[in-house]
Amino acid sequence: MTDSKTKIERLDDLVFDNRFIRELPADAETANHRRQVTGACYSRVLPAKAANPQMAAYSREVAELLDLSKEICESAGFTQVFVGNRLLSGMDPYAICYGGHQFGNWAGQLGDGRAINLGEVLNRRGEHWTLQFKGAGETPYSRNADGLAVLRSSVREFLCSEAMHHLGVPTTRALSLILTGDQVIRDMFYNGNPKPEPGAVVCRVAPSFTRFGSFQIFAARGEIGLLKKLLDYTIRTDFPHLGEPSREVYLAWFAEVCRRTAKMIVHWQRVGFVHGVMNTDNMSILGLTIDYGPYGWLENYDPNWTPNTTDAAERRYRFGNQPQIAFWNLGQLANAIYPLIEQVEPLQQAINVYTETFTQHWQAMVAAKLGLNVYDPAADDPLNTELLIILQVVETDMTLFYRKLAGLVMDVELSNEALMLPLMEAYYAPEQLTDDYKARLGNWLRSYIKRVQGADIADAERIQSMNSVNPKYVLRNYLAQLAIDKAEQGDFSMVDELLELLRHPYDEQPGKEAFALKRPDWARQRPGCSMLSCSS
Ligand code: AMP
Ligand code: MG
């Protein structure tokens, strides 16, 4: 097909088919003031006007999903539309009502406090893509906050959504990152130091932004009619393969949410991603990674690590706890739809799907990271358990260790030092490498070599398959911060450079090795690099 068939000519040619607002009940109140919204799934609200919008970056792959050409994306009209200054015909902006458990406690109504949905684009392939601004001003759900987002958190959301997609991790996407030209006041560490920061709007894109908390709010309020409406709508639009809604289909739907969530979490554990705020309002029913706030990437392998300073005491959302938290969150979703099922037993069976799927995919993921074609529990449970301990004995960069393991010389006769040689770049403190450590790692490497040789896997095949699941490039926390430092000076070149780099995270990309290095020492304690708060 030629470009003219697959791309639209003008922004105004975008076709909107706004199923969510057409089929679900709207809030009768239309004024934009903060309130409890009952009897409705959403409230109509207009984006705020930006004083002096400036395009910072856009994703050409997401533009393609929307049939948008490079020329359109780089036009002044695009900047005006995607900062919220001009509505296209067919856009009908709204904020969605939802609730959620925050840090384990029911928090009541939350909702799109700084997200505004513009509508659903119907592209030329017949797909629906919901456009959603983050940071375009207050909504009825803004509670005590301003509905805005600062540049630093918007750069983080924009880059990470796209990086995750290219890593093969299910995620919401990001079309554009546009500065508003307005200043936003933030107290970054909630320590009495508020200061103005540049404001920005990210346009997020996903088939749907429905969250676990979207169902929870109606169950909590006893609005069972609305609960049923939203679930029937969700099944018909996003899960049509399950058939017409019925009690059986509700259960099949819940099982599918469990399955998708399990797969998403396994991907997070594979690439070393820590979400940071796995509240039930931040859990997508499509199993997409959603709401990039104080997330982070594991540098030295530490299952207890969380980047979120707000969670520093309890570490509820630490890396190693993410699988259990997802299960807990699914339990809350099960509670929410219980009124439509009215039996505990089938819901309990459905939630077992999470554990089964998780175990199956986690084992396959562990095997793949080690270049094995199947996970053999008898051999691989002890092999992997020992490896995960070894990775914590001394500070070891997770991404580098797995990537470099592919380059191991597969000879059990080599000395410990010779075997370790390809892995040396992964160590943060080589002086910690005692003889005991070397002996322990050497033993592990020899067991690993024997396991691979026993499975008769050719070295070229092992290397290739490992390099397709163990990324060379991830959005290291300090890299995002360096791009932010520049962006705050009006220079978006590093945002573009990282976006380009992270399009091919599994490729060697000669000349880009500097981005694959372990975290430099200065970044260890620098805010934004290892510590983040929810302030964004
Ligand atoms: P989060 O934990 O960031 O997902 O946010 C929890 C809730 O707070 C959601 O309802 C958000 O929409 C809302 N929220 C977060 N930041 C802001 C803000 N700056 N203005 C208004 N609402 C916000
Ligand atoms: Mg959220």
Note if 281 is an active site residue: yes
Tokens of 387: 């490896």
CA atoms within 13 A on the CB side of 85: 16
DSSP 50: P
Determine if ligand 1 sits within 6 Å of the CB of residue 380. Answer: no
For the cut 50, the answer to whether the pLDDT of residue 320 exceeds it is: yes
Output the pLDDT for position 1.
46
- Pocket residue to mutate for ligand 1, from 110, 184, 283, most atoms within 8 A of Cβ: 110
- Pocket residue to mutate for ligand 1, from 142, 154, 172, 188, most atoms within 8 A of Cβ: 142
Residue carrying the six token digits 């091919």: 504
Residue 530: pLDDT band with limits 50, 70, 90: confident
pTM reported for the whole predicted model: 0.98
Output the pLDDT for position 528.
87
Determine if ligand 1 sits within 6 Å of the CB of residue 110. Answer: yes
| Structure confidence by residue, pLDDT tens digits, 401-444 | 999 999 999 999 999 999 999 999 999 999 999 999 999 999 99
| Structure confidence by residue, pLDDT tens digits, 435-483 | 999 999 999 999 999 999 999 999 999 999 999 999 999 999 999 999 9
Q: Give the atom of ligand 1 at the shortest distance from the alpha carbon of 139.
A: 21
Determine if ligand 1 sits within 6 Å of the CB of residue 277. Answer: yes
| Structure confidence by residue, pLDDT tens digits, 495-507 | 999 999 999 999 9
Which of these is catalytic: 281, 291, 311, 397? 281
Query: 122 with 17: CB under 8 angstroms?
Result: yes
**Rounded Cα–Cα distance for residues 95 and 405 (Å):** 47
The letter for the amino acid at 531 is M
Query: 226 with 214: CB under 8 angstroms?
Result: no
Residue ranges of domains in the chain: 4-212, 221-368, 376-456, 477-523
